[in-house]
A = this chain, B = another copy of it.
């Protein structure tokens, strides 16, 4: 799998709007992109203005395709002004689970 962790830090007062916009993007990604297996969104307990998007794609091409979708571009434009600093990301390969089945999200 091609796994991207995206690190987000939002400005004070924007977290709820960020969550709203991000949940729309996450749900659309896992339900409409065949190459997007999971799109988890988590929030730091000790620093609630910081989030991580845990995006799991079948291939690098699927990750690239995600950025062409209308839900991604709408999300990017909506959350842009909410960023306290530029987003960063790190790319991983799965070790465990070994199979694609082990990564699939059942909503």
Binding site for B on A (CB under 8 A): 3, 5, 19, 22-23, 26-27, 39-46, 51-52, 54, 90-99, 101-107
* Contacts A52-B5, A54-B54; A42 near B92 (Cβ below 8 A): yes
CB distance from A72 to the nearest CB of B (A): 15
> Would A23 and B91 count as touching, CB distance under 8 A?
no
Given contacts A95-B22, A96-B40, contact A105 B102 (CB under 8 A): yes
A105: chain B residues at CB < 8 Å are: 97, 102
- Is the beta-carbon distance between B101 and A26 smaller than 8 angstroms? no
Interface pair A102/B91, CB less than 8 Å apart: no
Min CB distance, A106 to chain B, in Å?
A: 6
When chains A and B are docked, how far (Å) is the Cα of A46 from the Cα of B91? 7
Q: Establish whether residues A3 and B106, one from each chain, have CB atoms under 8 Å apart when the complex forms.
A: no
